[in-house]
Amino acid sequence: MQPFVRAPAISLQMAKKKSSSSESSDITWEVRANSGQFHRQLQRKSFLFFQWGRYADNTMRSHKYTLLNFLPYTLYEQFQRFANFFFLLIVVMQCVPAISTIPWYITVFPLLVVLSVRALKDLVSDQGRRRSDKQINSRSCDLLTSGGFQTVQWRNVCVGDVLRIHKDQIIPADLLLLYSTEPHSLCYVETADIDGETNLKFRQALASTHTTLASGSLEQSLSSFNGIVFCEEPNGHLYSFRGELRWQEQTQRLDTEHILLRGTVLRNTDLAYGLTIYAGADTKIMKNCGKVIVKTTQVERILNRVVLGIMVFVLLVDLLLAVGSGVFEHRVSPRVEVLAALGGDSSAAYRAFLTFWGYLILLSPAIPMSMYITFEVMKVIQCFFINWDLQMYHADNDKPAHARSTSLNEELGQVGHLLSDKTGTLTQNRLLFRQCCIAGHVYGDAPAHESQKPLDLSWNRFSCGGLQFWDQRLVQRLVKERCPQSREFFTALALCHTVMTQWKEGAPHYQAASPDEEALVGAARELGWVFLSRTRDSLTVSQLGHTCQYQLLALVDFTSKRRRMSVLVREPGGDLKLYCKGADIVILERLQKDCPHRESSERALDLFAQGCLRTLCVAVRCVSEAQWGAWRQALEACQAEAPGREARLEELHDCMEQELTLLGVTAIEDRLQDGVPETIATLKQAGIKVWVLTGDKTETAVNVGYACSLMDADSSLLQGDQLRQLLQSSDPDVRIRQNKKSEIWSTDKKMLGDNTTIVINGLELAELLAVPEWGSRFVALANQCQSVLCCRVTPGQKAEVVQLVRTHTSSVTLAIGDGANDVNMIKTSHVGVGLYGVEGSQAVQNADFALAQFRFLGRLLLVHGHWSNQRICLFLRVFLFKTTSFALVHVWYSFFSGFSSQSVYESWFISLYTVMYTSMPVQCLAIFEQDVSAEGCVRWPEVYQKGRRMEHFGPRALAGTLLYSLYSSLVLCLLPLGVFQHLALDFQTLAVTIGTAAVFTATAEVVIETKYWTKYNLAAVILSLFLYFMSTLILHSPRLHSTAPQHYIFPGVSINAFGEPVVWLTVLLTTCAAILPSMAMQAFNVVLTRSNTHRIHSQRNSELSRVNGTPFHRGAARRRSSYAVSQGKGFGRLITSGAGLRTAAAPRQSTPHPAGRDSIKAHHLPHPAGTDSIKAHHLLHPAGTDSIKEHHLLHPAATDSIKAHHLLHPAGTDSIKEHHLPHPAGTDSIKEHHLPHPAGTDSIKAHHLPHPAGTDSIKAHDLLHPAGTDSIKAHHLLHPAGTDSIKAHDLLHPAGTDSIKAHHLPHPAGTDSIKAHHLPHPAETDSIKGQTPSRPTTSRTQQGQTPSRNTTSRT
């Protein structure tokens, strides 16, 4: 009997569609096999900024500097800063003696230092990228030459070369697969470095190349291969390829199944041979990397504008002073004989012209050039702090945090939008089988109970370990009790899949197209149902040691539309069964009427969804021979049909996948990285909008979004038509919160913006990006929502989303990812963070910061980002204050000097003021300042919003700083002049006095701004003042004056000035008056307002202590998780066509499991027929077969489960409080949350329940029922005599129809409703006080408990 083969038919249709699409497209890229000379002639070459040629070489070039372009490139970047360009002009003017007011070297030296430091820093950073490029380019591969295969480096590969790839080797270029050592030239690749997914994808060569190359000597056949490939031009579409191979007078269509991409790794295939299609910069992965972008911070851009504003202000002041000089020379100088003699024959206009340039040079210190030197040094030091932070060091992979860029530190403190990849960034891409529900019984623990010991599976010789599942009851059901439902459930898991087997060291290892399938088949293997091997028409499975072979009649593969897959098999006994698994929504609607365990399974689905687990329903259908025969004939007839075949096939598949019987539900955890939910919750509290961009399907991404606290449990999803309706609205101010009259939310008026998440897929995103108005409206809507989830997006679309946010908001964007598909997004964002991935380091190499785990991002932003932003902003403000207040003194002094552009200060003082006298205190401020400690930054993430709001460097702060400096300069000039007006002191003493006051004022301002003092801050203040006085005394030495009188013109002035008390009094008075506004503002801030920082420091730690982050709260069961698969399709076509299936059979088992003997290790304990006590968590009932897990209670004769905290006893017995159930036929009452026993007298300690047929107590949380077989999940008990499902907190009476509110339980035989923690006695009507143990008069005590009085009252 020939099996039904569906996959080839689908593939044929897809091939036809792709073929027609290929024919309609332009395929102009020509590649000739084994024609190196042809391609090298057209190879791309470059010189400086010029390129020519068609084909790129295979050299990796992520660096931007070369020996030839370094100097022009770095100078071009440096002089884009206004300050650098301005000072270059100042240097040129200082070389003109007629207008030079200060020596030229005073400006040249700082300018050269600024340019050198920045260029050296960029060169060091670029050298790191160059070393990385060299490492990649030096990798080896096998290249086919005239003498056979030779090992060459990647850089030597050219388009048209034939390469040989070994197992576990990284593919060096985009190749057309020609042949592999696997059957039918199949090979498997791992794309972790591209999309972060570790599950394998299959690629297959064309049948023509496989047949021809395999027929003779392989090397000779490859050498003579002369095919020509015509395909699309190089592009960044990772998941599409169009082309054709012209060979042997035939044209064969090519698609993505035939292409091996650069960066992927060959797995489970010994050798593969390929033709190089794209190389180097033309490869798809490199096309997705984007260009090297020079990033500047928002603070730096604002600083450039401020400096430009200061330059304009200085020019205007110079112009006014020049006008004043002209007026003075015209009206005043002719009347004064001395001034007239000094002016000579020059006209007033000419003197004014020279005065303009003189004042321009004199006021140039107002533009703080030396600030840029300190600015760069401070950033480098802060990068060292990030690199040295041990709390961001990951010991498992020995990776510390690394600041790869030294120019973006302060940007970390202003992030408003975080755009994150999912796979490998938020998740570990490690799926774990956590729980399952079989026949209404839930097995397994939630992920929180990982401290338990794993199952002892030493009896299973095929066990490979790694199963994180601890419920011994399931093993007991399978092995000891031979439960038929449980066995059929795992039979379905072992048969219904497209997994392929590879044997290593005597154990099967699985190759799966989906990580979910690998997790399920692996769990079945660990529990005794081992998938051994498959052929085209058979499946071999070991069931507890017995080898069974099933005949495969049909396989209907998974598709994104079907959301399910099925296999039709013939059992060894001859029966036909259809096993089907898929999303719960799809499977539940195909169940037969009155399907048993449906309601309990749906409750289990809700429970698993609350735990953020990925669920999958498993069902079976018995098929008769007649049904199979008719169905097969219909399929064969459908195969011959041309039009409408796909629709007809879908109808036939749907017809067979009906009347299913539900076997159970699986729950898989998509393992998040440690600390991801807490980190995202903390970042959201800091006001950061979190967007997740992933290539996964929507259901998977949404499920992970709930698990990682991206969305709340009760979040509403805005997607599809609702989102389109909002985007198409004519209202320009569309908002999530609409009035009642608005028609926007006519379908859902309860949706709130703060609790809404936008979900959009790649196709919708492409449509949105095509309409500019929609883009701005989409970003506006997203800013009102809780988060945004972009699914099925390509790497290029990720970058487009980042650019969309940058275009329509002023927010700083941060992108984080771990794969090469995230590189473009990382480069496009303001700040790029790369995670050290499982394979490769493309993201890290192109990132600005590198981390080992996502959880470290919280500390990077909230601590280092906040500190860096605050330090840099304070540093810039203080620096602007001290330089402008120092320079603008000349403006006020010009009114007393006749606008003569005479300097107030000594020339050496001008040069050393910012470099030596006032530099160290402000540097320590930029290095050590903290407004909040590291622990406080994480505990109170709201503090981070100060940086986002630009409180430290916003327009108000900058305007206040500049006005403050203007006031201080006025005080520094006028107050000493007023004092010296009536004193017999010379101009030079006045210059020393003003200079000393300026130094004291700048130092005092730093002291006022410093909130976090260290010994270094104190030492810097003392040392800077010491250097000022020492250098002033030395520079004013008469000996230096005698050596160079033109450079040292203040001989002995400082010694005389410092000996005058009036000078010191003037200096102190001037300093106090100059800093008065700052001191007053600080006092007003403390008295009149209480900032967040002050509030934090002023409150008690005990009042503010809370857990870091917000844990995930489970809400109502409003959502369901769905089965998720990888991006690619499954291996169904390969299986049904026989391609890629090895002929070697699985090893035969030498020791089959006996039929009637179950060997159960520790944690598997049979109960005798007596009175033994059984350890916690694993209990066998003496008269039954059930083991009961923690919080799981058996009811004697029922099938329904009741929600947590509210339990009804069957027919007039007890209503039982959570966790503590009395035994129906015992004599004990229970202490502490302790319930009275209906007919007994003993009190039992908390969590210890007596056995019904004995006197032993059983450990906590594990209760045996005397005659039942059902186990019930935590807080869910079965109703004794019905099938109703009872919602949480609302319980139905077993013999009636009343619904009872939460925590209020009716007595089964009475009429009283009893408050929470007050439970009625089943045979009486006493009301019992909450949590107070009661005992009858005949009670006795156990375990030394003090008996209590009977507090019950008869009704």
Q: Is 445 marked active-site?
A: no
Contact (CB, 8 A) for 334 and 848: no
Do the bridges between strand 415-420 and strand 689-693 make them parallel or antiparallel, or are there none, so unpaired? parallel
- φ, ψ for residue 417 (rounded to 5)? -130, 125
Hey, what are 294's tokens? Answer: 């020079």
For 556-568, b where at least 16 C-beta lie within 10 A, e where not — what string? Answer: bbbeeebbbbbbb
Alpha carbons 1259 and 938: distance in angstroms, whole number: 41
Cα atoms in the Cβ-side hemisphere of radius 13 Å centred on 1226: 27
- 3-state SS, one letter per residue, for 837-897: CCCCCHHHHCCCEEECCCCHHHHHHHHHHHHHHHHHHHHHHHHHHHHHHHHCHHHHHHCCC
Q: Are 394 and 853 in contact (CB under 8 A)?
A: yes
CA-based R_g, the chain, Å: 40
**Spatial distance between the Cα atoms of 443 and 978, rounded to a whole number of angstroms:** 90
- Token couple for 746: 């006519």
**Three-state SS at 1297:** coil
CA distance 1226 to 1340: 13
Given a contact cutoff of 8 angstroms between Cβ atoms, the answer to whether 679 and 709 are in contact is no
Burial environment of residue 992 by CB neighbours within 10 A (0 to 12, 13 to 18, 19 or more): buried
To the nearest 10°, report the CA torsion of 1294, 1296, 1300, 1305.
Answer: -50
Calpha distance 1230→1213 (Å, rounded): 16
Q: CA nearest 760: which of 812, 702, 845?
A: 702
**Are residues 1226 and 1212 in contact, defined by beta-carbon separation less than 8 angstroms?**
no
CA dist., res. 717 & res. 701, Å (int):
12
End-to-end CA distance of the chain: 76
Which of 710, 729, 723 is closest to 751 using CA atoms?
Answer: 723
* Coil/strand/helix, residue 1155: coil
**Residue corresponding to tokens 């997994």:** 499
Task: Write the CA distances from 161 to 137, 204, 238, 263, 1195, integer angstroms.
Answer: 16, 19, 22, 17, 72
Do 243 and 22 touch, CB atoms closer than 8 A?
yes
Scanning the structure block, which residue is given the tokens 């095929």?
462
- Give the chain's count of helices (H) and strands (E): 45, 46
Dihedral angle at the C-alpha atoms of 1059, 1064, 1067, 1071, nearest 10 degrees? 140
- Among 854, 933, 1241, 955, smallest CA distance to 1093 is for 933
Left if phi > 0, otherwise alpha if psi is -120 to 50, otherwise beta: which for 1052?
left
Of 126, 421, 1186, 1270, which one is the catalytic site residue?
Answer: 421
Rounded to an integer, what distance in angstroms lies between the CA atom of residue 1287 and that of residue 1270? 20
Q: Which helix (H) or strand (E) holds 773?
A: helix 772-784
Strand partners, 417: 689, 813
Query: DSSP code of 449?
Result: G
Phi, psi of 228 (to 5 degrees): -120, 130
β partners of residue 567: 555, 579
Q: Provide the annotated active-site residues.
A: 421
